[in-house]
Structure 1
């Protein structure tokens, strides 16, 4: 039987599901930090190139969110309602959609790599070459990432967060071994630089995907993914259901990335160090981002199952318990970023100018970490209710404000103005999303 999230102590149930997901998300953070730490030894130009290439893998995750979120919410709600047959239908459709979109994105990326990288107008030839090489490999094999994200969501919908954690743990170990070997060259292995980083990343993703597929086959308990056929025709009912929930989430994720791309283009005018700082700073920030996103995924499944079962009182209590948890975590991260930014920056950068730029970034962004954690958690909660369209509207509207705000503040404060534009909008979004969830759930009568 699937993990039943509609019974038992709320905090204990949430924590039991959330801890492996948060641990998996933290492993994802270590993936990225490990890459950046080793690539940092190649210089800020290499980091800038990987940063640009990483933008396109990030963009792909927004697209992959359509299959993941649409499948996860519907599977969890069907399980809460007790309809296993429809849960299987939605799970199979989500996997098929993820495979198709992953391959389509890979083909387009290989065909238009130079045009994609050219958007950022990198003046440095070394940074440009690194971006092209990284993008071709990381995006050319992006299907592994699409499948991994979707399978993780479907496992979570069933209350199983341990299998994805184990898979990600093995993937991290693989990545940590391959990074120094392929990036710097060890023994008989040649020094591949950013190409080595890309190979290490996609290899780890392929291993994570394979372990989760094996898990479906060998698990003794029933799994809605059992019997999945990739080549079967997707019934219109399931495709429409996934698209209805998933498309707003995909648009939100891709719009967020597109806005960041515009900001990166603006930042590139300040030099390779500034672009590298944005990339590395984002990876450091993912310590809070990935952890909150992991808790949001657990809360999403918890709320979707309880909403499907009509237990709205558990929905409200689960959200409040989650809010306190991630809020405190965000405050701790804020304190670290604001109080000790230089030791963190020195892990990734070795040039004085890059270190100074990174320190300013960490201090300014540090003020918004708690609000960002609250925002991500609330998006997961609202999505569990099926309100992905509302999440998309709010997120896109206020994230888009970063562009004109960056122009205004950048003209006054320079590069720091762009950092403040990012930080201030995160604070506003955290407040608005929280108020929105409380307003929506206040209108619903509590049930037991």
Structure 2
């Protein structure tokens, strides 16, 4: 199943593709939101433990994204060029690659969880114990969740974002139902949240595989080959390195935050969870624009590429202003969804106020990254995002000194780097546009 994005109204194409992706993101947020509420009932220690473990799960996703993004770009361009057999071959090779790389990561997590969690120097045996247990169990679902990410990327690239939405809906509902059962009825505590997640991931994978495997991989017998793996990794590596660096910097930033105690760690995790409303919804728009750009660039419809960007950026800016305003005016309201400890609420509210000022820049950054990646120039946004993410650490160390801004200095470093990324990426896109779009459409 595929949809031709090279014809028809540009706004309608982008919105039609983006809405199911955004709906999937809302559903994922609903799960994360519910999951954090249930974990939050166990206290700030449990929230801190899950938040600490999540950094390493995100690192695994960052590594495997080399196949996910590279496949999405390649498949969309081949679909635009009417070369479906090659699109199927690319999808098969990416699936094999995901399986191999996840197997390595799973082994490492099961053998060395103490060393991973120990990096944070939490100095709290209860939080460390929770974190290690959660990480070990949650890692079991890595292959299934990453395969679903790959299937979603392929489906979106083919112009079908409804199937991922339906699969996500089922997985989220199952997860929401199982969370309180495993956490409180079976009294598995934070491990119960991990078990519920793994079960829903396995279910989502099974549904997606059964429904779409023939469309994605072709009807012929599955053969392991790596003829196109170089192309996939060449496109995916820059973005994967970006995600790895972003996650590693996130781990380092979390270690800086840890000096203010488990309340601060929990507050940051909650703040990130709330901020993900902006990230996930804009990510849907970004994914739609990437697929739209890939198909139209592959079909040499260059004017539609730029028109798609202009459409998406207007939507992104409007949404970014809205979310930033809400975060700045009502931060305590959002944080109290998860916890009631006043210290955690105060720190989480300060995070949202500072980050709220940069939300519109984050939406611009993400949408602009989507169109540049869709053009196949993945090294450009990766280089900019890596550079502007790395500078968070020295900025945070300096601004968080007690005679300056304390923990708010960490939040300021994150916001400043987001603003710089948006500015640099906007300049980069207009440079790329002159070289790749305007010059070729004359």
Q: TM-score, normalised by structure 2?
A: 0.97
State the alpha-carbon separation in 1 of the partners of residues 342 and 119 from structure 2: 28
Deviation at 1:182, TM superposition (A): 1.1
State the alpha-carbon separation in 2 of the partners of residues 235 and 425 from structure 1: 38
Deviation at 1:130, TM superposition (A): 0.9
**Number of the residue aligned with 2:89:** 89
State the alpha-carbon separation in 2 of the partners of residues 117 and 314 from structure 1: 48
Deviation at 1:266, TM superposition (A): 0.8
1:92–1:229 Cα contact (<8 Å) kept: no
2:216 counterpart SS class: coil
Correspondent of 1:304 among 294, 310, 320: 294
Give matches, 1:100-111, under 5 Å.
100-111=100-111
* More deviation, 297-306/372-381: 372-381
**Number of the residue aligned with 1:15:** 15
**Number of the residue aligned with 1:223:** 215
State the aligned residue count.
Answer: 438
Provide structure 2 residue ranges, at least 5 long, that are not aligned to the other structure. Answer: none
State the alpha-carbon separation in 2 of the partners of residues 195 and 228 from structure 1: 41
Q: Does 1:235 align with 2:231?
A: no
**Number of the residue aligned with 2:259:** 269
1:79–1:158 Cα contact (<8 Å) kept: yes
State the alpha-carbon separation in 2 of the partners of residues 110 and 229 from structure 1: 34
Deviation at 1:229, TM superposition (A): 6.1
Q: Does 1:179 align with 2:179?
A: yes
1:18–1:298 Cα contact (<8 Å) kept: yes
State the alpha-carbon separation in 1 of the partners of residues 369 and 34 from structure 2: 28
1:270 counterpart SS class: coil
State the alpha-carbon separation in 1 of the partners of residues 57 and 199 from structure 2: 15
Deviation at 1:84, TM superposition (A): 1.4
State the alpha-carbon separation in 2 of the partners of residues 312 and 137 from structure 1: 47
Deviation at 1:405, TM superposition (A): 0.1
Deviation at 1:280, TM superposition (A): 1.2
State the alpha-carbon separation in 2 of the partners of residues 177 and 140 from structure 1: 20
Deviation at 1:224, TM superposition (A): 3.4
State the alpha-carbon separation in 2 of the partners of residues 399 and 406 from structure 1: 11
Q: Deviations over 1:128-187 (max 9, x none)?
A: 1111011101123311111011110001110010000000000110111011111122xx
2:5 counterpart SS class: coil
Q: In 2 relative to 1, CA 33–87 (structure 1 residues): closer, same or farther, beyond 3 Å? A: same
2:171–2:201 Cα contact (<8 Å) kept: yes
Provide structure 1 residue ranges, at least 5 long, that are not aligned to the other structure. Answer: none
Deviation at 1:300, TM superposition (A): 0.5
Q: Does 1:251 align with 2:245?
A: no
State the alpha-carbon separation in 1 of the partners of residues 281 and 204 from structure 2: 19
2:380–2:428 Cα contact (<8 Å) kept: no
Q: In 2 relative to 1, CA 228–264 (structure 1 residues): closer, same or farther, beyond 3 Å? A: farther
2:4 counterpart SS class: coil
**Number of the residue aligned with 1:433:** 425
Q: Does 1:76 align with 2:76?
A: yes
Deviation at 1:225, TM superposition (A): 2.6
Give matches, 1:242-391, under 5 Å.
242-391=232-381
1:76–1:301 Cα contact (<8 Å) kept: yes
Q: Deviations over 1:32-82 (max 9, x none)?
A: 111111111111011000001111111111112111111111111011111
2:85–2:218 Cα contact (<8 Å) kept: no
State the alpha-carbon separation in 1 of the partners of residues 263 and 362 from structure 2: 25
State the alpha-carbon separation in 2 of the partners of residues 235 and 260 from structure 1: 33
Q: Deviations over 1:343-378 (max 9, x none)?
A: 111111111111111111111111111111111111
**Number of the residue aligned with 1:194:** 190
Deviation at 1:239, TM superposition (A): 0.6
Deviation at 1:25, TM superposition (A): 1.4
State the alpha-carbon separation in 1 of the partners of residues 49 and 182 from structure 2: 17
1:348 counterpart SS class: coil
**Number of the residue aligned with 1:152:** 152
2:141–2:202 Cα contact (<8 Å) kept: no
1:84–1:224 Cα contact (<8 Å) kept: no
What RMSD over aligned residues (CA atoms) do the two structures have, in Å? 1.4
State the alpha-carbon separation in 2 of the partners of residues 277 and 141 from structure 1: 26
1:56–1:139 Cα contact (<8 Å) kept: no
**Number of the residue aligned with 2:46:** 46
**Number of the residue aligned with 1:423:** 415
State the alpha-carbon separation in 1 of the partners of residues 394 and 209 from structure 2: 45
Give matches, 1:133-172, under 5 Å.
133-172=133-172
**Number of the residue aligned with 1:213:** 209
Q: Deviations over 1:222-256 (max 9, x none)?
A: 823333766x33233x0101010011111111110
**Number of the residue aligned with 2:399:** 409
State the alpha-carbon separation in 2 of the partners of residues 43 and 264 from structure 1: 19
